């Protein structure tokens, strides 16, 4: 296998997204009461998250190759470095690895991972091209990373708030990405929300989700769910979210939507840091 192909497989997995995952799940385990004595379970949980995410990204690109030829021609499949069959093989290998890791954890974690792998495959094959349901599923799956950490540590209660944050931010980001990809999706007859009902309803739903997210962070402060360090840090995340809302209503061009998506992703990182600092 030549270097270009190895590089293409790495790109197919979306390494930046995997980095977020490999940080999020150990944090989720730690928030749920994990300690250094639980290092084995936390390590396998993190590897599970990375493998599930890499598999989801690869199978998504296999199904989306025609759309990506328009929207993202530099990805490995549209440019011809890898084939859809290569992406399917990668999905099978890494998803199988994720399931195997959970033989060493607990039954609930194993069941959750199997369900998530199946749902993410079905999402790429069918749900992604449906009105809103696909967006909702992706947001649920992202929040599930924190629920999964709680399940691994047998303490799901402490994972609910970060799971809610992840759900709301990713729901908004998915809607923004649909607006960004509207040209390619329309050519492929994908029934996304902005294509079916228009750009403004999609932006309104994204805005509502982000405003609820900001409200949730304020409630976390009000009920003292986290220490005061959470407040000082989450202000930065909330400021980025507000700027994303302003940007999305200023222009709905693909370039602007990409900027909005990046702002939301950055706010997710700061929000995660806030939860970490607020839980110390």
Q: Tens of pLDDT along 210-222?
A: 999 999 999 998 8
- Per the domain annotation, does 98 fall within a domain? yes
User: Could you tell me which residue, 224 or 95, shows the higher pLDDT?
Assistant: 95
Domain count, the chain: 1
Q: Tell me the CATH number at 148.
A: 1.10.357.140
- Residue 237 near residue 267, CB atoms below 8 Å: yes
pLDDT of residue 199 exceeding 90, the answer is: yes
- Per the domain annotation, does 244 fall within a domain? no
Say what the pLDDT of residue 238 is.
Answer: 96
Say what the pLDDT of residue 1 is.
Answer: 63
- Per the domain annotation, does 66 fall within a domain? yes
Mean pLDDT of 260-271: 92
> Which residue segment(s) compose the domain that 58 sits in?
1-154
**How far apart are alpha carbons 202 and 193 in whole angstroms?**
6
- Per the domain annotation, does 146 fall within a domain? yes
**How far apart are alpha carbons 253 and 258 in whole angstroms?**
9
**How far apart are alpha carbons 166 and 248 in whole angstroms?**
20
User: Could you tell me which residue, 185 or 174, shows the higher pLDDT?
Assistant: 174
- Per the domain annotation, does 195 fall within a domain? no
- Per the domain annotation, does 28 fall within a domain? yes
> DSSP code of 181?
T
Say what the pLDDT of residue 48 is.
Answer: 96
**How far apart are alpha carbons 176 and 202 in whole angstroms?**
7
Helix 133-152 and helix 15-31, axial crossing angle in degrees, nearest 10: 50
Residue 66's pLDDT band, with cuts at 50, 70 and 90, is: confident
> DSSP code of 37?
G
The closest alpha carbon to 140, from 167, 161, 165, belongs to 167
> Three-class SS of residue 126?
coil
The closest alpha carbon to 231, from 265, 165, 277, belongs to 277
- Per the domain annotation, does 259 fall within a domain? no
Own/partner pairs, 255-263, CB within 8 angstroms, 24+ separation: 257/176, 257/177, 257/179, 257/180, 258/180, 260/176, 261/173, 261/176, 261/177, 261/180
- Per the domain annotation, does 161 fall within a domain? no
Say what the pLDDT of residue 132 is.
Answer: 86
Say what the pLDDT of residue 117 is.
Answer: 95
pLDDT of residue 19 exceeding 90, the answer is: no
- Residue 152 near residue 105, CB atoms below 8 Å: yes
> DSSP code of 252?
-
Stated as kind and residue range, the H or E segment containing 83 is none
């Amino acid at each position: 296998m030549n270097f270009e192909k190895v590089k293409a497989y790495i790109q197919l997995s979306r390494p930046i997204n995997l980095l977020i995952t490999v940080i999020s799940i150990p944090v989720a385990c730690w928030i749920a009461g994990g300690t250094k004595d639980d290092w084995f379970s936390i390590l396998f949980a993190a590897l599970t998250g990375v493998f599930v995410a890499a598999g989801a990204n690869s199978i998504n690109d296999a199904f989306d190759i025609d759309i990506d030829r328009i929207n993202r021609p530099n990805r490995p499949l549209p440019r011809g470095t890898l084939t859809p069959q290569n992406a399917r093989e990668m999905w099978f290998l890494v998803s199988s690895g994720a399931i195997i890791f959970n033989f060493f954890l607990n039954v609930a974690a194993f069941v959750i991972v199997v369900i998530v792998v199946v749902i993410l495959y079905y999402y790429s094959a069918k749900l992604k091209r449906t009105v809103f349901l696909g967006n909702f599923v992706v947001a649920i799956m992202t929040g599930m990373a924190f629920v999964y950490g709680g399940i691994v540590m047998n303490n799901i209660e402490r994972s609910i708030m970060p799971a809610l944050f992840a759900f709301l931010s990713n729901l908004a980001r998915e809607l923004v990405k649909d607006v960004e990809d509207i040209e390619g999706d329309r050519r492929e007859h994908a029934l996304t929300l902005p294509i079916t009902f228009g750009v403004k309803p999609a932006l309104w739903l994204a805005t509502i989700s982000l405003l609820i997210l900001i409200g949730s962070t304020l409630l976390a402060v009000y009920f003292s769910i986290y220490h005061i360090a959470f407040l000082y840090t989450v202000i930065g995340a909330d400021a980025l979210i507000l700027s994303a809302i302003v940007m999305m209503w200023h222009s709905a061009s693909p370039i602007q939507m990409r900027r909005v998506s990046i702002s939301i992703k950055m706010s997710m990182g700061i929000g995660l840091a806030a939860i970490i600092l607020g839980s110390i």
